[in-house]
Structure 1
Amino acid sequence: MWLGGLVVKPAHLRVEPVDIDVGCDVVFLNPHDAERLGIVAGSRVSVVCGGRGLGALAAVNPSVEAGKAAISRGLLKKLDECSSVEVYPLDLPPSFDAFKRRLEGKKLDAGDYKRFISDIVSGFYDDAQIAAFLVSQLHHKLSEEELGYLIRAMVETGEVVSFGEPVYDEHSIGGVPGNSKVALLVVPTVASKGLLIPKTSSRAITSPAGTADTMEVLARVTFSAEEIHEMALKARGLIVWGGALNLAPADDIFVRIERRIGIDPPAQMVASILAKKLAMSVSRLVIDIPVGRGAKVEDEKEATSLASMFLSQASRLGVTMRVALTFGGEPIGFAVGPALEAQEALETLIKGDGPPGLIEKACSLAGLVFELGGVAPRGRGYSLACELLRSGAAYSKFREIIEVQEGDPDVKPDDIRLASRQFTLESPRDGVVTSIDNVAITLAAKAAGAPDDKSAGIKLHVKTGYRVRKGDPLLTIYASNDARLHEAIRIIEEYNAVMIEGVIVKLLP
């Protein structure tokens, strides 16, 4: 057993569960035990039970009885509720040599990635080291072979859910405010034709809402793999959070750290998406890459390069895929933030109609899934999807999905709670809306509290091309307290989030 290169006399410590959540696995030790074992507060340790070791953060507390280890609930669950453990100081993980070579830009092989990802999942790397690995991808790009090794390693270190039939999915790389609600239209539309689409979604990384954040406004999104298997076969469609499952668990670690440092490296994005899809046995997949100013991908050349990366890996992994480059130059629909987006998606499904951009995108993506599944011939999927949305079939299926996910299928848009503090930005002049800044809307919505505060966000009253008069509402900010509201207002004004230009540019003579 690896003990970080240190020889320490084994000592069995009785386990004392502790209800504490500091965002990582922690073991609390009595100062005398810590000194005897050579463990320093704040260092990483290996907690061993039944021959299996997991990494954790060491904390020293005199209130812990000597001979005991107070272990956080999350770590104890991973250790299968052990009654006693051994705790050893950690030096460097076994895969540390591979880790250093990756930081230097050297290529790793399949074995390197398997050991490295296994050590990450076991908790042997801290957040700073994992962040360094993620940042390294911005400076030393992964080769196609390395990316394939990384994806397979991420899948192999977790569980795989099998359904015994073809599994479909649609996934957007995100990066455009208001985009998280699209899946709430696509999934029930696809499922209404009988295709199996158990969508596992992430929470927001750099945006004001992830699909899981938005769906959670309407229904529970945290389930076990066994529950998901049963629910998916019953409803044919789900929208759940993938982070609660042991599916490609390294991805959940990567996403948590990416969110904290505000990056989403392209290769890691591809690895994260495809690893999660493979873990759900997805074999037919539509990828959406929004393109436009202020999106993750700002030009078509970059989007085409990213699409090629997806298609190349899909070919290697046996996934049938189509990639759609979609308009991402301004927010999707009018709502930004979990509650506001859930409200807009629900309104659209109930009416069978909604913001043109939202309808266009949802029908296009659902249509591509239909074409992959042979439900519609190539080029005819869009019209079928729009018909299902207009007819109410998609809404009927969405009600089933909400119910199976333990939500209220009778929920109405007005039932959704929005933050109590509001501010409406008005047009300073007559004119035409010439642009809406994605970056400004994203930053302001996050400053208002989204996605952690699901009731916070921004509701737009205009889109590019709208004519406005002085005093007309442009957008409304929702926040739960004045401090957040004022910060969001400051960002909107500083960035000039909504540009209004006069109709007359010049008079002659």
Structure 2
Amino acid sequence: MEQRVKEYSVSVLDLNFGKPIVVLNEADARELGVTPGNILLIIHGDKQKTGVVMTTKTMVNKGSLMVTNELANALGLKEGGAVGIKPLSIPPSFPALKKRLKGERLEESHYREIVKDVVEGVYGEAEIAAFLVSQLFYEPTEEELTYLIKAMVETGSRIVFEEPANDVHSVGGVPGNSKVALITVPIVAASGLLIPKTSSRAITSPAGTADTVEVLARVDLTIDEIKDIVKKTKGVLAWGGKLNLAPADDIFVNIERRLAIDPIYQMVASILSKKLAMGIERLVIDIPAGRGAKVQEVSKADEMAGIFIRQASKMNIALKVAITYGGQPIGLTTGPALEAREALSALITGKGSRSLVDKALLLAGLVLELSGRVPAGSGEEVAREIFLSGKAYEKFKEIIEAQGGDPNVKPEEIPIGKHSYTLKSPLEGAVTHLDNAAITTLARACGAPYDKGAGVYLHAKVGYRVNKGDPLITLYSNSASRLETAVNLLSQTQPIIVEGMLLKTLP
């Protein structure tokens, strides 16, 4: 006979810890046999959620507990309500997780169990981190990758659109890349194709597309809001984290962000599971390759492209991969507000940094060709016509307005960091090197992506001629202490190198 679950009265703790928390009186914790960090199952009516245990002697009386807002909302709990709680034993998927940590192959059912337990909150951060890190040492097989993608899709919602949905997604790893979608998406939408673009926030970079768009409009849209917006505009630029699409991915990304890792197979699973759940039928994948990028060699980009192509064919997604130049930052800016300014300026004027504009038109053209809207080889030309005609800017304004932003905002009206520092050239010469990793480090040191106004502005790129005293890089931050840290890093990281004609004289 099943033991009756003891009920506890509830109070709601108005704090956000980034994870569901249950605060118990120490006496109740001892009675239940749990300690801080253990996982509890909280039961309210027909709803169940898990929470991480914290204990107290004085904040909560015996027979009562506190839950964070996240848990209260998920369970439909109100102050003074009652819940039952049960300590969780070893999860059913734990033996499979242990096998994965040893590099042993798993079956489809194993991945289903692991992903289900991750989504239900059975595992803590340590177990999830171990699962992700294991992929750096023991790569899954492609068959296992298929199992993982399917499991991630099956544990969440799915969207079905009334017409074929297109998308373009970059694997990232190059500073300044997040703003490309702000030009590509309105070009594709202006052509009449449906492009419901969702993206994650930054993992290891100073800005993800969602971070940059959020400077201009809401990105935390619901499924119904996305459907309404694309009916009106054909395009959307949303954050995928609120949609319950492949929800395990959002949990994985949070851990990856904290560890500053992005395992290749997990990245493929992340992208394709989100696109499948979003109802995407035609997808262009951008893989930047070059020194300092996430993918440094073209041969490695070819390998990654092959993984995407084989997995997409199993998922019935029409896919094309573009391997693009990633040896230096895209455009002149890195960081949410700076990138939003640069993309908006390019849309308004029809001009901009060649690396930004050319890449955006190239990717938009590939989407147009993949859809069959234009003949092969003519996509970029058609995309350029839409961009230069102003139709892309008008479409962008429609999308921003539909997402609750100001469609008439001007680039100079977007606030950037109030504190700044400019590095000047020590000599006359040419810029011979820009270090992607150093630019990323500096932008994040300034506070990006959480400080939307933080980032790096490049006054010069590789090949530019400069005079002594000319500005090379400007750092922006809303925090004076963060800016000071970033300035101290400048000499250590050498993000930009200027060389003159004379290297040295002998004797």
TM-score range, shorter chain: over 0.9
- Report the Cα distance in structure 1 between the residues aligned to 2:430 and 2:172, rounded to whole angstroms: 28
Which moves more between the two structures, 53-62 or 218-227?
53-62
1:69 to 46, 65, 70: 65
Look up the match of 1:78. 74
**Higher mean displacement: 59-68 or 183-192:** 59-68
* Cα distance, 1:56 vs structure 2: 1.1
Q: Aligned equivalents of 2:240 and 2:443: distance in 1? A: 24
Once the two structures are TM-superposed, the CA of residue 74 in structure 1 deviates from its matched residue by 1.1
Which of the numbers 308, 319, 322 marks the counterpart of 1:321?
A: 319
The structure 1 residue matched to 2:165, chosen from 156, 167, 174, is 167
Provide the C-alpha distance between the structure 2 equivalents of 1:279 and 1:246, rounded to a whole number of angstroms: 9
Letter in 1 for 2:90: L
| Pair 1:274 & 2:258 matched | no
- Aligned with 2:218 (options 217, 220, 236): 220
| Structure 1 equivalent of residue 105 of structure 2 | 107
Which residue of the other structure, out of 490, 494, 497, is the alignment partner of 2:495?
497
CA distance in 2, matches of 1:492, 1:508: 30
CA distance in 1, matches of 2:34, 2:339: 48
After superposition, residues 8-407 of structure 1 pair within 5 angstroms as 10-50=5-45, 52-61=47-56, 62-81=58-77, 83-407=81-405
Deviations 1:234-285 (A, max 9, x none): 1111111111111110000000000000100000000000011011000100
Q: Deviation per CA, 1:185-209, whole angstroms, max 9, x where unpaired? A: 0001100011111111110000000
Structure 1 residue identity aligned to 2:55: V
Cα distance between partner residues in 1 of 2:70 and 2:277: 22
Tell me the secondary structure at the aligned position of residue 267 of structure 1.
helix
SS class of match (1:16) = strand
CA contact (8 A) 1:8 1:88 kept: no
Post-superposition CA distance 1:207-239 (Å, at most 9, x none): 000000000000011111111111122111111
- The CA distance in 1 between the partners of 2:283 and 2:480, in whole Å, is 43
> Once the 2 structures are TM-superposed, how far is the Cα of residue 430 of structure 1 from its aligned partner?
0.8
What is the DSSP-based 3-state SS (H/G/I as helix, E as strand, rest coil) of the residue aligned with 1:296? Answer: coil
Of 168-177 and 31-40, deviating more is 31-40
**Partner SS, residue 280 of structure 2:** coil
Contact 1:432 1:466 in 2 (8 A): yes
CA distance in structure 1 between the partners assigned to 2:47 and 2:319 by the alignment:
39
Q: Is the 8 A contact 1:54 1:124 kept in 2?
A: no
CA distance in 2, matches of 1:57, 1:505: 60
Distance 1:220 1:9 in 2: 45
1:128 CA displacement: 0.9
State the distance in 2 between where 1:80 and 1:15 align. 12
Normalising to structure 2: TM-score of the pair? 0.96
Q: For 1:153, what is the secondary structure of its paired residue?
A: helix
Aligned counterparts of 1:456 and 1:362: Cα–Cα separation in 2: 23
Q: Residue 486 of structure 1: CA displacement? A: 1.8
Aligned-pair CA distance for 1:392 = 0.5
The one-letter amino acid of 1:339's match is: A
Higher alpha-carbon deviation: 74-83 or 232-241: 74-83
Percent identical pairs in the alignment equals 52
In 1, distance between residues paired with 2:154 and 2:83?
Answer: 27
Superposition deviation, residue 505 in structure 1: 5.3
Matched position secondary structure for 1:283: strand
Deviation at 1:504, TM superposition (A): 4.5
Q: In 2, distance between residues paired with 1:357 and 1:313?
A: 30
Q: Distance in 1 between matches of 2:97 and 2:50?
A: 17
Give the ranges of 4+ consecutive aligned residues of structure 1 lying more than 6 Å apart after TM superposition. Answer: 506-509
Q: Secondary structure at the match of 1:464?
A: coil
Matched with 2:416 is: 418
- Following superposition, the deviation at residue 130 of structure 1 comes to 0.5
Amino acid at match of 1:284: R
Cα distance, 1:489 vs. partner?
Answer: 1.6
**What is the RMSD computed on CA atoms of the aligned residues?**
1.7
Amino acid at match of 2:247: P
Aligned pair count reads 504
| Deviations 1:63-99, CA, capped at 9 Å, x for gaps | 2243333221212222244843211122321100000
Instruction: Tell me the amino acid that sits aligned with residue 464 of structure 2.
Output: Y
Q: What's the secondary structure of 2:441's corresponding residue?
A: helix
The amino acid across from 2:42 in the alignment is V
**Residue 493 of structure 1: how far off its partner (Å):** 1.7
How far apart, in 1, do the equivalents of 2:395 and 2:192 lie?
10
Counterpart-to-counterpart distance in 2, 1:152 and 1:51: 27
For structure 1, list consecutive stretches of 5 or more residues without a partner in the other structure.
2-6
CA distance in 2, matches of 1:225, 1:72: 25
- 1-structure distance, mates of 2:328, 2:486: 18
Name the residue aligned to 1:4.
none
Structure 1 residue 339, shift from structure 2 partner? 0.4
Work out whether residues 172 and 289 of structure 1, in 8 Å CA contact, stay in contact via their aligned partners in 2. Answer: yes
Larger displacement relative to structure 2 (81-90 or 463-472) = 81-90
- TM-score, normalised to structure 1, is 0.96
